[in-house]
């Protein structure tokens, strides 16, 4: 392989890599579930909060709390990774 061919191959790979990094994935979502546990400074659970006690922000913009439930039947999947 000549020097010109190798240089063009490297340039082509760098161009593809740069394009891959600039791609953006966008999706419209109408409802996002947020599960929260709130504790006071002593570590005790606070269970009497209302919808108005929460402010949700996305990139600084306040979002509407559409559904508020103290308990949910929504299944919760938790993963734990331990690196020894």
pLDDT one-digit tens code per residue, 43-82:
999 988 999 999 999 899 999 988 888 877 777 778 888 9
d(CA 1, CA 7): 10
Asked if the structure places residue 25 within a domain, the reply is yes
Beta bridge partners of 57: 62
pLDDT at 21 over 70: no
Asked if the structure places residue 57 within a domain, the reply is yes
pLDDT at 24 over 70: yes
d(CA 6, CA 12): 10
SS3 at position 23: coil
Number of domains making up the chain: 1
Instruction: For residue 6, name the pLDDT band (cuts at 50, 70, 90).
Output: very low
Asked if the structure places residue 52 within a domain, the reply is yes
Structural domain including 38 reads 3-63
d(CA 31, CA 53): 19
Asked if the structure places residue 75 within a domain, the reply is no
DSSP letter, residue 52: G
Asked if the structure places residue 68 within a domain, the reply is no
Q: What's the pLDDT at 8? A: 44
């Amino acid at each position: 392989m000549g020097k010109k061919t190798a240089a063009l191959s490297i340039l082509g790979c760098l161009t593809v890599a740069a394009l891959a990094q600039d791609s953006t994935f966008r999706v419209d979502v109408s409802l996002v579930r947020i599960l929260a546990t709130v504790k006071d400074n002593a570590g005790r659970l606070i269970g009497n909060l209302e919808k108005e006690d929460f402010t949700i922000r996305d990139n600084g913009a306040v979002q509407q709390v559409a559904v508020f439930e103290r308990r949910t039947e929504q299944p919760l999947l938790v993963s734990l990774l331990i690196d020894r």
